[in-house]
A and B are shown apart, each in its own frame.
Chain A
Amino acid sequence: MATKFVAFTSLGRRALPNQWDVIAFALIFGGFVLAVQAGRGMVLPLPAPRTVAVVLDYSYLPYYALRTTLRMFAALAASVLFTITYATLAAKSRRAEVILVPLLDVLQSVPILGFLSFTVTFFLNLFPGRVLGAECAAIFAIFTSQAWNMAFSFYQSLRTVPADLDEVANGFRLSGWQKFWQLETPFAIPGLIWNMMMSMSGGWFFVVAAEAITVGDTTIKLPGIGSYLAVAIDGRRVDAVLAAVVTVLVVILLYDQVIFRPIVTWADKFRVELSASQDVSESWVLNLLQRTFWIRAATRPVHQAFDWFTSLRLGAGRGGLREVVTPRVARAIDLLWFVLVGAIALYAAWGAASFVAKTLAWRDVGEAVLLTLITMMRVVVLLALATAFWVPVGVWIGLRPRIAERVQPMAQFLAAFPANVVFPIAVIGILAFHLNADIWLSFLIIFGTQWYIVFNVIAGASAYPNDLREVARNFRIGGWTWWRSVILPGIFPYYVTGALTASGGSWNAAIVAEYVRWGNDRVAAHGIGAYIAQATEAGDFPKIVLGVAVMSVCVILFNRLFWRPLFGYAERRLRLN
């Protein structure tokens, strides 16, 4: 189970951020600032689009659920399109690769939730006074939570196409286009589908946050579950919050059964393996579709059209020779290209810095760094707590196949569930018992992400080789020795995968979890998440840029200096196959 939100381009020993990361970083933040400035120049203040009021009547919930789901699939479609183009470009062009891959790497570490206000501003200005702008903003927000890991998966698949299949395609002189559809895309499909499912789960978190958003004086509520929830929170309606929770549960179950399960089952045939695998996934929907004669008949023209489309001879067949460029010319082009990228990055960095520097001083940077460290401490402590609790539990479950079989889908389901839906309920508790927000809000950070640790540990323990367990029993290895020498190293690669995902998700969750509202009551913890959330509410853009930038740097360093070495170690030393 290769579940990754954060994918590492390489597991080499050199993990420190290099010049390409810096360039990517500058480009991204410069781009955001540019988008906002361009938008703000046009219209001020933001015109709020006239949207239909969201009502708390339960009977509207199916409709809201539908709207939300449509939004998510629109974003998913955009992500697929982005994946196919961006990742292909990165994999095919050496020059594009050096900038596109670090860009992706930084993007997946940036807590995009913090930039919600920027994108909302941008899209509202793009379509002034129209709902379309708000819709686009919401879809874009979901897109930013889905696209990066999909693109990474696709890129990595393209780079690891089996050499012999590649030779067959070249030998038969498939054109670039034909090869892309006959070989490269099919090969990438299993990984892509898996990442799409993960993305869909991640997207829920964002849809809840993105449908109802307040930027300065402008409040936008798009009809959907997220807005329903926001209205319920404003009106302090516990029953409505619960109704929203139940609706989300039902929707997740439905699209899993009706859409993803069939796709995963279908995608099984694209797995490159020598023998038919033992665990074949089943889908009643797919069976139904495949056995119904008239559905098959109806899809035949679609099939044929797709066949025709994919076997077009676009792009030259790969001749043995590329266009001949002498090494000297190639080096000159390289140099020119790098200088150009560098110059743009410099300009972007300057733009972002000057935007922030207009209202903020070094003191603010210090504050942001301090708050980020507080949030980091929170993430680390909670990951440690979740580890201490869930690893033993996960091992216990994973070693009992009958129980694991039932618990595993539940854990995966909980990982998909947008935890921010239940945050307000926590606020009620904190207010009622006068608890310390700094401590008790922290638990929300890990609330939605701990499940990644749970199901990865369960998967690891389930896959633990039986003969090694028998050895341990045979030599009567028990107690702490058993944990330290037998089971923990065996599940470690799985655990790292889960913890890495949980860590990435937790940073994003911090923005929502450190600052929670219930009606007019606000509960805030000290941390960079609350800093960003409060700046968003106040419409203070420079502060948002500063907060997100500092947080991003911290996340990137945390990933590179902590997770990547661990990941590399697990891959090199502890893989059990």
Chain B
Amino acid sequence: MRAFVFSIMCETIAAISTAYGEGGIGIIRISGPESISILRRIFDCKGSIISRRMTYGKIIDPEDDSIIDEVLAVYMKEPSTYTGEDVVEINCHGSMVSLRKTLGLVLREGARMAEPGEFTKRAFLNGRLDLSQAEAVIDVIKAKADASYEAALSQMEGSLSRKVREIRAAVLDILVETTVNIDYPDEDIEQLTYDKLLAGLETVGEEIRKLLATADTGRMIKEGIRVAIVGKPNVGKSSLMNCLLRQSRAIVTEIPGTTRDTIEEAVSIRSIPVYLIDTAGIRETEDVVEKIGIERTKEAFNNADLIVLIVDASQPLTEEDEDILVRLENRRSLVLLNKTDLGNAVTPGDIADRSPNSDIIETCLIEEKGIDEIEDKIEALVYGGKLSQKDSIMVNDVRHEEILRKAEQAVCDAAAITRTQEALDIIEIDIREAYDRLGEIIGETVSDDVIDEVFSRFCLGK
């Protein structure tokens, strides 16, 4: 029987505070004691962060040092803030994608997703809102809770919820074994070995990871993917745009805030919304526009889910090619060796030497050769090469993703100390946590499940 642990004020919370699809700027708001330390871990800026001063810098994923977005961030020290706590606001300028990624990072670094109305609630509890507003606060909490409850329900109907229940049932199986081994030492039951326990944990961990792997897919299908097409002038960028536009059905719906200028086109490739960002022409002029162009190229490059670099196969690599190839490290990228009809001055090997993680396709775009392969690659990127669209169960809610990640972490921790043969009661703490986390997704936190299962499966007692 687990108590429902409900936190009041000690945790740091975060959420996107601008409504989706409104304006070109998205703000992530963080509130609570960890706000500033979380910002420090993911924010790269010149100089120090000073309270109430807007600071320019980059959001960096500390795990692989990749740049997520260029942002303005502000830290406001408690108590004179909206919530009365330390607050950080990150103004993301990029796409929905980078906004989501930044939020994901904030959650990974220790914040948790804010509950409906929680910022307002904290504001009131910390004396930042007037007494006369109390009833209004209650209404906000209730309305938001009802709305999110309904949204969660409709979202959780169906395959994802079934899958989470299935995984949770597998965790329950393990918990039942540990519980019966711990609470009934003298009974005539099979002793749980570390090997058996580990096998169970690894299976569960793998299942959760599989689900998590769909989070990117879910997001990409919902929000589309951004493909930046880069390369030196006249290498075939426009040809590629044209080929993809011609072959694919152009889509009219656009997510507001993602179209930055006229060189972006939205197409549907194999039912996936794809935003093609052509950086063509950027370096071709020497005038004032160039500076803006470079900024945009950088931005397009940083925010893309996939970078397509086109290289002229008939000529040796230029300095510019080399420069871009170096930047492909840690990015999902596709290198097209174009104009293969004109010669082989550059071979796939040359590219692989410089950017080992890039996929390479030889094309002749003028003759529309290689387009199918490009579309294959885009599809593979979205579905991770594993899922097909028909049977896909996808996580497309940041909150669910966050909880699954924590559940996975707990299972990993349990597996790690099972390997080192730590005591069973210690291991069980992590297994319990995973079980409780999975329950959070489907809204089941208080339960006698374990004890009920113990008695239904085992014959126990004096």
User: Do chains A and B stick together as partners?
Assistant: no
Q: Which residues of A contact B (CB under 8 A)?
A: none
